[in-house]
Amino acid sequence: MPRPTPPLRQLRAFCVAARHRSFKLAAAELCLTPSAVSHQMKALELALGLQLFERRTRLLVLTGAAQRLRTDLEPLLATLERTLQLLREGA
């Protein structure tokens, strides 16, 4: 049976953390704590059954799976944001 799609908040947090290569900087952008971002990433890794980050001192290194996910996911999230903005402007 296929696994359910992870929550959007986890996917969005992943993209921000991957871009910054830092849970601390991602947390600041998302108005969360670094611990909350870290917990979301652990939950996402568990849901996907993949390691996404190699955690080093003050630096996150993306795994190959994470690089692929980021490449595919960022344009989808950008499209979603644009669509929602257009809907808000038309409401």
Residue 15 structural domain? 9-90
Compute and round to an integer the Cα radius of gyration of the chain.
14
CATH number, domain of 24, equals 1.10.10.10
Q: What is the pLDDT of residues 46-73, one digit of tens each?
A: 999 999 999 998 889 999 999 999 999 9
Does 3 map to a domain?
no
- Element housing 73 (H / E): helix 64-90
Whole-Å CA distances, 43 to 9, 30, 46, 51, 80: 11, 17, 5, 11, 23
Does 2 map to a domain?
no
Strand partners, 60: 55
Is 0.85 topped by the overall pTM? Answer: yes
CB-based burial of residue 39 (10 Å sphere; 0-12 exposed, 13-18 middle, 19+ buried)?
A: middle
Q: How many domains does the chain have?
A: 1
pLDDT value at position 90? 87
